């Protein structure tokens, strides 16, 4: 048993009060500065952002809706340096859009089309991933507009298909008739990193971008294909933003047509039925080399990938990656590489070749949680268990079919349906994995289970379900990434401190740490100079249920470990008054070892967090402030509002952004 020491013994800041102010609020003794914002130019020749809806050239700007981020160090010579605290590359996902602020008067015909080509180009290019050089100078942190490292990856960027689905008929498109390449990445949400210094970016809500009028070409689809489309939700008549409705000036352009998931003729060049199969993957990017195409790692399965955080890398052991599928009643997955870890690979020159070695071959598992606090990793391997060519629900053809339809394989293997699995994080000291389960409005008193045990109201809403979410954690059997079983408990149940302590506020949250809808989740880097043995856990919220009380927030914690609490019986009451009970596993009450560190501006979510290796500079993402507003009446003016100005024009448009948080005495953030 690993002994867990905490040095220092307590969080070193006073809790920030809940508030609805239009600024980022941090504890006394800390400072906030703005690092990057939507639209900031990242090429020398790109114009400054006017932020009035007339800007163009988004393939050379910071994208919208910044989500997960990661800092990759650089030395003075511009080479990779994992210990650099003053210069690095910030890689950030750009998940989605506040589309109303991208155009002067909002978008034209955004629901059904036809869309103007110029508007659609901006919207497409504002998605994807950015890699931007950042430096700490005498005036603090800033990004470098003309750095040769700066890079945008958009939904149009050429990518390689790797792993079991490479070359398979399911990935054949007009763009890649041998199924080895694809175009771009979209709805990139959470992330992961590797010790060989690459980024794992995750494609989450990709299905909604596709147009597929129901039954448009059903006659050309097999029953299996139709089952798969419905299971993944590729069902829209128009698609988000209706990009397929554009008539391009260049008639040979297919960057809009590709969002129309159907065949319009008998020739291969008119067949776009497989386009959705290009998305829903984990994508590996070398942040240090912009000449290298991103690689889609299909061995890790296709789903609404939220994140892909690795477990500990131990020489001679097969590494593992933990992945949530963020939709109601979806699953937690783990990929275990076929290749035992060789520590020297961390410093290989060809980083994506190391990715090929560890990420293209291995075993994909899905989690089942048992009532007694145990659990199993169920393999999603062609020919094993119910994942066979004779399965009555879905006859699998091969491993390419299994990974492309991982959700269906998980269904037939009997995985546990979870309350929207978002980020995973791994305690770097003991290897325990934490998983945010953000909320689930379809969780009922009748179907609550030990790992998803609550269904209730949170006034003023009259809806029921798991309204506020929880954070589950698991410990692998034998403390190894290779384990096929585990124990679990629930670290914390999110809730307002005013809610029923017997059945809802089970973790005893107070005014200093009550929160709702945990989403982003990250353990502080173990390399910081604090000597701490139990690293800080950071929790970020994306909440709609608690916004009557506070804007979204970030908390810091020293968590304990799996099994430090006990069992609890929860009584849920259905709308008709019927009650039912569930026995769950709950960790020790967090008490003052969980504390609110930050509150964001109006209508934002807090998502994306990393630090320099020394823990003294924290980077935090502020996503979609003012998302409910209009160009004529924005509901937030952040980040312009951060300084507290009361004289900003009423039509000042909000922008997603990244903030730098430093302790005024230069100490480690949070301690």
**For binding to Ca ion (CB under 5 A), which residues are involved?**
422, 458, 496, 519, 542
- Minimum gap (Å) between residue 18 Cβ and Ca ion: 11
**Nearer to ligand FEO by C-beta: 22 or 95?**
95
Which CB atom, from 422 or from 627, has the smaller least distance to ligand FEO?
Answer: 422
Q: Which is nearer to ligand FEO, 74 or 189 (CB)?
A: 189
Q: Enter the tokens of residue 313.
A: 């890398």
The nearer residue to Ca ion, 129 or 263, going by C-beta atoms, is: 129
- Answer whether 516's CB lies under 8 Å from 494's CB: yes
Helices 223-232 & 406-413, crossing angle to 10 degrees? 90
At residue 33, the 3 state secondary structure works out as: strand
CA distance 661 to 461: 34
Q: Which does 345 bind (CB under 5 to 8 A by kind): ligand FEO, Ca ion, none?
A: none
Shortest distance in whole angstroms from residue 337 CB to ligand FEO? 25
Long-range contacts made by residues 41-44, C-beta under 8 angstroms, separation at least 24? 41/145, 42/130, 42/132, 42/143, 42/145, 42/147, 42/150, 42/152, 43/145, 43/146, 43/150, 44/145, 44/146
CB of 279 to ligand FEO, least distance (A): 14
User: Which residues in 318-337 contact ligand FEO (CB under 6 A)?
Assistant: 326
123 binds ligand FEO (CB under 6 A): no
Nearer to ligand FEO, 41 or 421 (CB): 421
Binding mask 145-184 toward ligand FEO (x if CB under 6 A, else -) reads ----------------------------------------
CB of 610 to ligand FEO, least distance (A): 17
Q: Is 39 exposed, middle or buried (0-12, 13-18, 19+ CB in 10 A)?
A: buried
Q: How far is CA 375 from CA 371, 372, 378, 488, 529, in A?
A: 9, 9, 9, 7, 36
| Position among 22, 55, 64, 95 found at the interface with ligand FEO (CB under 6 A) | 95
In the complex with Ca ion, the residue whose CB is nearer, 133 or 542, is: 542
- Least distance from C-beta 126 to ligand FEO, angstroms? 16
Instruction: Provide the minimum distance between the beta carbon of 449 and ligand FEO in the complex, in angstroms, as a whole number.
Output: 21
Q: Which residue is nearest to Ca ion (CB)?
A: 542
Residue 422 in the binding site for ligand FEO (CB under 6 A): yes
Closer of 307 and 629 to ligand FEO (Cβ): 307
CB of residue 306 to ligand FEO, shortest distance in Å? 5
Work out which of 22, 55, 203, 204 binds ligand FEO, going by CB under 6 A. 204
Pick the closer one to ligand FEO by CB: 197 or 234: 234
189 binds ligand FEO (CB under 6 A): yes
The separation between CA 602 and the C-alpha centre of its own chain, rounded to angstroms, equals 21
Q: Name the minimum Å distance from CB 65 to Ca ion.
A: 11
Nearer to ligand FEO, 115 or 407 (CB): 407
Residue 95, binding choice from Ca ion, ligand FEO, none, Cβ under 5 to 8 Å by partner class: ligand FEO
Report what 125 binds from ligand FEO, Ca ion, none; CB cut-off 5-8 Å by kind.
none
DSSP per-residue codes, 272-337 = -TTGGGGSSSEEEE-TT-TTSPPEEEGGG--S-B---EE----BTSPPEEEEEB-SBT--EEEEEE
Taking the complex as a whole, how short is the minimal distance between the CB of residue 364 and ligand FEO, in angstroms? 20
- The residue (of 190 and 445) whose beta carbon lies closer to Ca ion is 190
Which of Ca ion, ligand FEO, none does residue 327 bind to, with CB < 5 to 8 Å depending on kind?
A: none
| CA distances from residue 613 to 73, 81, 208, 220, 610 in whole angstroms, order as listed | 8, 10, 37, 54, 9
Angle value at C-alpha 478, between 477 and 481, nearest 5 degrees: 75
CB of 520 to ligand FEO, least distance (A): 9
Residue in the structure block whose two tokens are 């790992």: 451
Return the half-sphere exposure (C-beta side, CA atoms, 13 A cut-off) of residue 268: 10
- By C-beta, is 123 or 204 nearer to ligand FEO? 204
Contact between 296 and 160 (Cβ < 8 Å): yes
The rounded distance, in Å, linking the Cα atoms of 276 and 211 is 10
Partner whose binding site includes residue 458, from Ca ion, ligand FEO, none (CB under 5 to 8 Å by kind) = Ca ion
How many residues make contact with ligand FEO (CB under 6 A)? Answer: 6
Find where tokens 């163009």 sit.
Answer: 56
- Which residue has 């924290």 as its token pair? 618
CB 102 to ligand FEO: min, Å:
19
The partner in contact with residue 182, picked from ligand FEO, Ca ion, none with C-beta cut-offs of 5 to 8 angstroms by kind, is none
* CA-to-CA separations, 531 to 247, 309, 490, 606, in angstroms, rounded: 60, 23, 27, 28
The tokens of 522 are what?
Answer: 């990250």
The residue among 339 and 497 lying less far from Ca ion, judged by its C-beta, is 497
Minimal distance, residue 422 CB to ligand FEO, in Å: 5
In the list Ca ion, ligand FEO, none, the entry touching 203 (Cβ below 5 to 8 angstroms by class) is none
With binding defined as CB under 6 A, does residue 306 bind ligand FEO?
A: yes
Would you count residue 610 as binding ligand FEO (CB under 6 A)? no
CB of 179 or CB of 555, closer to ligand FEO? 555
Give the other-Cβ count within 10 Å of 29's Cβ: 12
Decide which of Ca ion, ligand FEO, none touches 627; Cβ closer than 5 to 8 Å per partner kind. none
- Measuring CA to CA, how many Å separate 93 from each of 114, 192, 306, 605? 28, 11, 11, 14
CB of 542 to ligand FEO, least distance (A): 7
| CA dist 647 → 137, 567, 569, 641 (Å) | 30, 54, 54, 9
Cα–Cα dist 116/95, whole Å:
22
Distance between first and last Cα of the chain? 26
Residue 133 interacting with ligand FEO (CB under 6 A): no
Residue 483 or 539: which CB sits closer to Ca ion? 539
- Please report, as residue ranges, which positions from 621 to 640 form the binding site for ligand FEO (by CB under 6 A): none
In the window 645-664, what residues touch ligand FEO (CB under 6 A)?
Answer: none
**Shortest Å distance, C-beta 335 to ligand FEO:** 19
**With contact defined as beta carbons under 8 Å apart, do 600 and 18 qualify?**
no
Angle 418-411-325 (CA atoms, 0-180°, nearest 5)?
45
Q: Are strands 158-162 and 295-297 parallel, antiparallel or unpaired?
A: parallel
Contact residues for ligand FEO, defined by CB under 6 A: 95, 189, 204, 306, 326, 422
């Amino acid at each position: 048993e690993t002994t867990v020491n905490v040095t220092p013994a307590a969080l070193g800041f006073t809790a920030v009060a809940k508030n609805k102010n239009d600024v980022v609020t941090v504890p006394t003794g800390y400072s906030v500065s703005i690092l990057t914002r939507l639209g900031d130019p990242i090429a020398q020749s790109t114009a400054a952002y006017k932020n009035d809806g007339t800007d163009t050239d988004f393939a050379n700007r910071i994208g919208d809706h910044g989500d997960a981020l990661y800092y990759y160090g650089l030395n003075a010579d511009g080479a990779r340096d994992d210990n650099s605290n003053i210069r690095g590359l910030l890689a950030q996902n750009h998940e989605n859009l506040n589309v109303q602020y991208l155009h002067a008067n909002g978008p034209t015909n955004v629901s059904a089309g036809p869309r103007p080509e110029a508007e659609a180009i901006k919207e497409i290019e504002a998605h994807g991933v950015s890699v931007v050089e950042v430096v700490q100078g005498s005036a603090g942190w800033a990004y470098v507009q003309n750095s040769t490292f700066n890079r945008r990856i958009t939904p149009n960027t050429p990518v390689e298909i790797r792993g079991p689905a490479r070359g398979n008929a399911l990935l054949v498109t007009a763009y890649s008739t041998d199924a080895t390449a694809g175009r771009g990445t979209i709805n990139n949400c959470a992330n992961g990193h590797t010790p060989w210094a690459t980024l794992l970016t995750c494609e989450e809500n990709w299905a909604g971008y596709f147009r597929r009028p129901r039954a448009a070409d059903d006659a050309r689809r097999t029953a299996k294909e139709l089952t798969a489309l419905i299971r993944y939700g590729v069902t829209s008549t128009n698609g988000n933003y209706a990009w397929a409705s554009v008539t391009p000036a260049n008639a040979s352009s297919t960057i809009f047509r590709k969002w129309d998931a159907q065949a319009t003729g008998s020739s291969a060049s008119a067949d776009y039925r497989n386009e959705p199969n290009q998305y829903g993957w984990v994508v590996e990017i070398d942040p240090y080399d912009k000449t290298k195409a991103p690689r889609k790692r299909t061995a890790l399965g296709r789903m609404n990938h939220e994140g892909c955080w690795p477990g500990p890398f131990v020489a001679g052991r097969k590494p593992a990656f933990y992945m949530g599928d963020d939709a109601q009643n979806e699953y937690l997955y783990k990929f275990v590489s076929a290749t035992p870890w060789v520590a020297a690979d961390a410093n290989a020159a060809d980083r994506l070749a190391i990715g090929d070695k560890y990420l293209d071959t291995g075993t994909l598992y899905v989690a089942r949680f048992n009532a007694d606090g145990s659990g199993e990793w169920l393999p999603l391997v062609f020919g094993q268990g119910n994942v066979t060519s004779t399965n009555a629900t879905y006859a699998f053809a091969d491993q390419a079919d299994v990974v492309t339809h991982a959700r269906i394989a998980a269904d037939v293997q009997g995985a546990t349906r979870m309350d929207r699995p978002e980020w995973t994080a791994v305690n770097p000291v003991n290897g325990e994995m934490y998983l945010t389960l953000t909320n689930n409005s379809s969780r009922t008193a009748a179907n609550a289970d030990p790992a998803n045990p609550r269904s209730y109201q949170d006034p003023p809403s009259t809806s029921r379900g798991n309204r506020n979410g929880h954070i589950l954690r698991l410990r692998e059997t034998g403390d190894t990434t290779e384990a096929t079983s585990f124990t679990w408990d629930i670290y914390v149940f999110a809730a307002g401190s005013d809610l029923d302590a017997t059945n809802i506020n089970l973790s005893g949250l107070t005014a200093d740490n009550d929160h709702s809808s945990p989403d982003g989740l990250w353990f502080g880097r173990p390399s910081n100079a604090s000597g701490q043995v139990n690293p800080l856990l950071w929790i970020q919220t994306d909440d709609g249920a608690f916004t009557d009380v506070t804007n979204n927030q970030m908390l810091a914690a020293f968590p304990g470990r799996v099994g430090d609490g006990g069992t609890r019986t929860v009584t849920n009451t259905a709308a008709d008054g019927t009650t039912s009970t569930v026995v769950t596993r709950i960790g020790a009450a967090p008490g003052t070892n969980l504390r609110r560190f930050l509150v964001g501006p109006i209508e934002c979510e807090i998502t994306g967090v990393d630090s320099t290796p020394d823990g003294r500079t924290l980077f935090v993402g502020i996503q979609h402030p003012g998302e409910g507003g209009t160009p004529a009446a924005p509901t937030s003016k952040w980040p312009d509002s951060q300084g507290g100005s009361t004289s900003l024009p009423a039509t000042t448009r909000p922008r997603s952004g990244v903030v730098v948080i430093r302790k005024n005495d230069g100490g480690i953030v949070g301690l």
